[in-house]
Amino acid sequence: MSELIHTVADLTDLRNKDVLEAALARVIFELAEASRLSIWRVVNEGADIKLRERVSLPPRAEQGTEIPLRAARREWRDCYAGRRHISCPSDDGEQCRHVFPLCNEREVIGLLELLRPSRLASGQEQTLHGLLRVYRNHLGLLDYGDRDELTGLLNRRTFGTYFKQITAEKAVHAVIAVIDVDFFKRVNDQFGHPYGDEVLILLARLISRYFVGIEGVFRFGGEEFLLILPDMKQEQAWSLLDSFRLAVAQAAFPQVGRVTVSIGFTKIRVDDSCAAAFGRADEALYLAKHSGRNRVKCYEELVLEGYLAGNRHSGGDIELF
């Protein structure tokens, strides 16, 4: 019992959700004496729901598989729809398969599947359900401090931590983009703040759908949003961001009508500070605003074209917050 209490305490010390998920998997794998365990993250793509493998124990080389929920095993679909634990024989009939829903306070966010030689004993099952409740409650506390109340996106205070995770990689192939709603003050003045809030909510949903699977999506304050796009070259980022800009211009915003956004972005450097990277993207955004709005500008290209001096410091001790 003492060891279990320390295990729970260790889990609730964690603040990074990916690390928390991996730690939960290791604890359950050992407690359940499982032969295999996997965690699948629910990914919403409009009406299409997919499952993306996030954790596999023992590790598999092909980890990261993605499948549509509609094509998943029946017990997975039943677990997701009913938000309940499912157990059944494995395909070969030699083991027992257990599937548990992973939930936050609002919805099912993933599925945990484990295989073991026999069905879980009553005490083991109760312990696993208890750990999953601790996980759900801890996620709720993390979301309360990390999420913007209006849009549900990550908030400004989480940006620094996430940025450090990205730049911890030796080879950084990522960009940071700042998205700003054009003439947003005009929306508030003409229609009122409730309609301005609705624009922000609808835009946040559009960002989440368009950049599905991207975890670094933040509401940075007011009408400003921030994206960190990993594994993204400059040309790819330009194409994707400009396509998103066009999608916003074509989207329906009830009562308000047409809404556009301006976007500035820059490549993240290996030795970057979050303040420096944000500053370069913000400079590009400034020129996007002042060259007509409803457009995308890249910091590196603006430097080459002579519009910016290109002396933005990349490292050092500057703090953004």
Place of tokens 């069905």: 119
User: Tell me, what amino acid is at 211?
Assistant: F
Q: Which among 276, 179, 182, 268 has a CA at the least distance from the CA of 218? A: 179
Cβ-contact 190, 253 below 8 angstroms: no
> Active-site positions?
223
Token reading at 227: 């994206």
CA trace torsion 159, 163, 105, 252 (10° rounding): 70
Q: With beta carbons less than 8 A apart as the criterion, state whether 158 and 36 touch.
A: no
Q: How far is CA 161 from the centre of its chain?
A: 13
Among 172, 175, 189, 199, smallest CA distance to 261 is for: 199
Give the C-alpha separation, 51 to 68, whole Å.
6
Q: In which residue are the tokens 């939930």 written? A: 103
